[in-house]
Amino acid sequence: MGRVDGRTVIVTGGARGMGAAFARRLVAEGASVVLTDVLVDEGKAVAAELGSSAVFLPHDVTDEAAWIDVVAHAESVFGPVSGLVNNAGIVHVDPIETLSESDYRRVIDVNQLGVFLGMKSVVPSMRRAGGGSIVNISSIGGIISFTNILGYVASKWAVRGMTKAAAQEFGPLGIRVNSVHPGVVATEMTADSTRSNSMFHDQPLPRAGTPEELANLVLFLVSDESGYSTGSEFVADGGFTTH
């Protein structure tokens, strides 16, 4: 028996990296997964690999109408949604002095507005499912700060606060909401960072994390094993934020 048997779970940013690892882990434990992304070919490939328990949908998380369509498709194929992993995210590197308004807004739209729209859109379906679990992927950049990525830091701090506000509202509906705060995880998005070991040398676990390690944490939060946890931050950073 799988740990999430019978669950219908939406995973955004599911075409590669952590999102693809989340989809694989959830399917392996019995869930049916709708994975979404703007990377169409890569998303289709992951869904094909996972077989009949997964479908891929092209999806811009900043578009509310697209969210409504994703939830409706998930229900029509697999049944009411009981899990959402808001994983889609981008980063833009620039000092504040030269950061353009359009680049700042784009990061906020994907990382923050996308999470809001996702949470809003799944609530009716989760009511029909009898409850559910929302996992918002933030970052250690939502707990501490880093230079030259103002939009990313702002959005990830916002996700942390939005998670707590949603947990308060959704708790009486049987819907839990938690945030996950990875450190550097070895994915395409962090390839430049993980090439150098210098950033890990003061970290208690002196290495990058793996997508599979984060997938185990997400699985725990989607499952009933975390049934008394809501509005909380779950940090997986090799101890980076202990300093």
pLDDT higher than 90, residue 201: no
pLDDT attached to residue 189:
62
Q: What is the rounded average pLDDT for all residues in the chain? A: 96
- Against a cut of 0.85, is the pTM above it? yes
pLDDT attached to residue 199:
72
Alpha-carbon dihedral 195, 25, 220, 75, rounded to 10 degrees: 120
pLDDT higher than 70, residue 182: yes
Residues whose CB falls within 8 Å of the CB of residue 65, separated by 6 or more in sequence, listed in order: none
Residue 241 falls inside a structural domain = no
H or E element that contains 27? helix 17-28
Residue 123 falls inside a structural domain = yes
What mean pLDDT is predicted for residues 167-189? 95
Residues whose CB falls within 8 Å of the CB of residue 47, separated by 6 or more in sequence, listed in order: 35, 54, 55, 56
Structure tokens at 220: 């725990």
pLDDT tens-place string over residues 62-79: 999 999 999 999 999 999
Burial 141-178 (b: 16+ CB within 10 A, else e): bbbeeeeebbbbbbbbbbbbebbeebbeebeeeebbbb
Alpha-carbon dihedral 84, 155, 194, 46, rounded to 10 degrees: 30
Name the catalytic one among 67, 78, 104, 152.
Answer: 152
Q: Domain residues for 12?
A: 8-236
Structurally, the chain folds into a number of domains equal to 1
- Identify the band that residue 193 occupies on the pLDDT scale cut at 50, 70 and 90: low
How far is the first Cα of the chain from the last one, in angstroms, to the nearest whole number? Answer: 41
What mean pLDDT is predicted for residues 88-102? 98
How far, in whole angstroms, is CA 28 from its chain's centroid?
18
Is 152 designated active site?
A: yes
Residue 187 falls inside a structural domain = yes
Q: What is the CATH number of the domain that holds 124?
A: 3.40.50.720
Residue 2 falls inside a structural domain = no
Structure tokens at 207: 């290495």
**Crossing angle between the packed helical segments 150-170 and 101-108, to the nearest 10 degrees:** 30
pLDDT higher than 60, residue 191: no
Where are the strands (E) in 128-203, listed by range?
Answer: 132-137, 175-182
Residue 3 falls inside a structural domain = no
pLDDT tens-place string over residues 21-37: 999 999 999 999 999 99
